[in-house]
Amino acid sequence: MTKIAIWKFTSCDGCQLSLLDLEEDLLEIAKHFEISYFLEASSKRADPPYDISLVEGSITTEEAKRKIMDIRAQSKYLVTIGACATAGGIQALRNFASLQSFKQRVYPRPEVIDVLPTSLPISHYVRVDYELQGCPINKLQLLQLLYSYSRDLRPSFSSGSVCMECKRRAIPCVMVASKTLCLGPVTHGGCGAICPSFGRGCYGCYGPKETPNSASLCQWAKDELDFDPLALDHAFKKFYCIAEGFKLSHES
């Protein structure tokens, strides 16, 4: 059977829960995979090596830097899941400011907080075989990914944008219909365009798509929606704030 290990670093646990959220598919998974390490679900542990390691969360401490290198050495395939593991997550907002300033404002004893000055993705420290984007990830994509790697195949998902998912579902464009800012044209698809289907703009929680033209979207929002630069900056500084495709937008 294919041995799976699920690991957590700095994150909210939401992407790990996507695996548990597979519900009836878990019975089929149990026939083909051995869950060797998954502290979110069980205290039972099996010794390495592991065939597939799923890693959630960003690296924010020296201890985490050492641990992810051990996990890489123990794993045939290492897959990062979610915004934190693939791009540093919301906690990477601190990369833009002084860590010391945050510690003094938040904690009564800032001297006991021992963390790195930045929150960075797993790929900054070790080789990653695949990055599954989303906040949280799409559980059906996770299922497809597990079966692909169990057969030594690289999973294949659409590289299109949320904007394309809207068009396929015939969802009216919220930017045109209601003058609402939407990051759908530059955001990686995979969510099924949930927010636009309820009349809201895309928040960019699946991160930048391949070759996003975020600068053009920002200019259009300024010209057509009368968005001020600070509001646009806040729109991109969320789930994937340090990802190159979104980082460029608030530097333009």
What proportion of the chain, given as a percentage, has pLDDT over 90? 90
Domains and CATH numbers, the chain: 2-151 (3.40.50.700), 162-246 (no CATH)
Q: How far apart are the C-alpha atoms of 40 and 7, rounded to whole Å?
A: 9
Q: How far apart are the C-alpha atoms of 232 and 221, rounded to whole Å?
A: 8
Q: Which of 61-65, 99-103, 129-133, 149-153 has the lowest mean pLDDT?
A: 99-103
Mean pLDDT of 57-69: 98
Q: Which two tokens stand for residue 243?
A: 């990802």
Q: State the pLDDT at residue 252.
A: 54
Q: State the pLDDT at residue 92.
A: 96
Beta pairing, strands 33-37 & 130-132: unpaired
Helix axes 214-224, 229-236, angle to 10 degrees: 140
pLDDT at position 75 over 90: yes
Q: State the pLDDT at residue 247.
A: 78
* Cβ within 8 Å of residue 179, ≥6 positions away: 224, 225
Residue 183's closest CA among 210, 158, 228, 213? 213
Q: State the pLDDT at residue 24.
A: 87
Say if residues 204 and 234 touch (Cβ distance below 8 Å): no
> pTM value?
0.93
Confidence category of residue 248, pLDDT binned at 50, 70, 90: low
Exposure letters 124-152 (e unless 16+ CB within 10 A, then b): eebebebbbbbbbbbbebbbebbebbbee
Q: Which of 52-56, 86-90, 183-187, 230-234 has the lowest mean pLDDT?
A: 230-234
The mean of the pLDDT values for the chain is 94
Confidence category of residue 23, pLDDT binned at 50, 70, 90: confident
The string of pLDDT tens digits covering residues 176-218 is: 999 999 999 999 999 999 999 999 999 999 999 999 999 999 9
